[in-house]
Amino acid sequence: MIPAQFEYVRPGSLAEASQALASDEDAKVLAGGQSLLPLLRLRLAYPSTLVDVGRLDELKGVHDRGDHVFIGAMATHDEVMRSDVVNAGCPLVALAAAHVADPAIRHRGTFGGSLAHADPAGDMPAVVLALDGVFVARSARGEREIPAADFFVDYLESSLGPGEILAGVKIPKLGEGWGFHYEKFHRTAQAWAIVGVAAAVKRSNGAIAEARIGLTNMGPTPVRARATESALQGMELGDQIRQACEEAAADTSPPSDLHAQPDFRRHLARVLTHRAVRTAAGTP
């Protein structure tokens, strides 16, 4: 199918891009295009203007900034996956990036685009939520920081306002004693996750000192498995971890679609959370 007609704008600066977005409420940002272009071809999206931010250097790169890693919105998944800075400072992000679709999409799709698209079935939203990332948005009004817990509003809806562009994300470094794992269930290698689990576990003296768990595709937005996080705190490493992970699907509202029904997704959330937590904790 041929997309509906639209105007194409390729700004030379972030200020020009913000102005183009602010002047047309139906304008959309074009980054890597791996999410937006299929929607255009199916006419599920029909923006009046596409603002191509592909040549804006302000949105590119990965940077070590002391207590956090700043990942530019235009960094590709492949760049994130291979970055020494990301692998050292926030390895869970690199692990999850390796699970995104296939190599072709990882080379074109962008870190910021997958987050701004706000699809709860995407791999990155749950990861950034689990790590308490902070989104940096820029516009003609200046810069605004948005905690991950406030960024995802609803299905395919973020808290970015008119004229705002996602410049990048700050990922806090968690330091020593932490282990990480991303577990994903999907039917084909390049498919969206039916359910995914991002786990970060801090170990101390043979017990779990803290756990952070983000769930993919268990509601209209990515969610934290708060009940399991609380149950795991202070728990000794052993078989009792499984019982704590039985609460992983609590307070979730998983979708029903051609791939899975809600009850099956809840089952997957419990099983995958157990696997992810045990792997992150270094428990065989």
CATH code assigned at 215: 3.30.390.50
> First vs last Cα of the chain: how many Å apart?
50
Instruction: Write the pLDDT tens digit of every residue in 215-258.
Output: 999 999 999 999 999 999 999 998 899 999 999 999 999 999 99
Least confident among 128-137, 188-197, 268-277: 188-197
pLDDT surpassing 80 at residue 11: yes
Report pLDDT for 44.
Answer: 86
Q: Are residues 167 and 211 in the same domain?
A: no
Q: What is the mean pLDDT of residues 128-155?
A: 98
pLDDT surpassing 90 at residue 57: yes
Q: Are residues 104 and 204 in the same domain?
A: no
Of 147, 172, 197, which residue sits at a domain end? 172
Joined tokens for residue 43: 């006419």
Of 127, 155, 172, which residue sits at a domain end? 172
Joined tokens for residue 151: 């960024």
Report pLDDT for 191.
Answer: 81
- The CATH number assigned to the domain holding 29 equals 3.30.43.10
Q: Are residues 79 and 158 in the same domain?
A: yes
Q: What is the mean pLDDT of residues 131-152?
A: 97
Q: Are residues 203 and 161 in the same domain?
A: no
Q: Are residues 195 and 130 in the same domain?
A: no
SS3 185: strand
Q: What percent of the chain has a predicted confidence (pLDDT) above 70?
A: 99
Report pLDDT for 269.
Answer: 99
Q: Are residues 118 and 203 in the same domain?
A: no
Question: How far, in Å, CA of 67 to CA of 45, rounded?
Answer: 39
Domain assignment present for residue 2? The answer is: no
pLDDT surpassing 90 at residue 2: no
Q: Are residues 219 and 272 in the same domain?
A: yes
- The CATH number assigned to the domain holding 76 equals 3.30.465.10
14 — pLDDT class (breaks 50, 70, 90): very high
Question: How far, in Å, CA of 234 to CA of 8, rounded?
Answer: 55
176 — pLDDT class (breaks 50, 70, 90): very high
Domain count, the chain: 3
Q: Are residues 74 and 123 in the same domain?
A: yes
Question: How far, in Å, CA of 124 to CA of 265, rounded?
Answer: 19
| Contact (CB, 8 A) for 30 and 20 | no
For tokens 């003296």, the residue is 205
Q: Are residues 195 and 232 in the same domain?
A: yes
pLDDT surpassing 80 at residue 74: yes
Q: What is the mean pLDDT of residues 168-192?
A: 93
Q: Are residues 193 and 165 in the same domain?
A: no
Tell me what the pLDDT averaged over the chain comes to: 96
Return the closest-CA partner of residue 116 out of 86, 72, 79.
72
207-216 β-sheet, strand order = 178-185, 195-204, 207-216, 223-224
Report pLDDT for 277.
Answer: 98
Q: Are residues 135 and 227 in the same domain?
A: no
Which residue range(s) make up the domain with 221? 179-280
Domain assignment present for residue 155? The answer is: yes
Domain assignment present for residue 1? The answer is: no
Q: What percent of the chain has a predicted confidence (pLDDT) above 90?
A: 89
Q: Which amino acid is at 272?
A: L
pLDDT surpassing 80 at residue 137: yes
pLDDT surpassing 80 at residue 189: no
Q: Are residues 187 and 227 in the same domain?
A: yes
Instruction: Write the pLDDT tens digit of every residue in 148-158.
Output: 999 999 999 99
Return the closest-CA partner of residue 23 out of 49, 4, 45.
49
Q: What is the mean pLDDT of residues 212-216?
A: 99
Report pLDDT for 4.
Answer: 85
Of 108, 141, 172, which residue sits at a domain end? 172
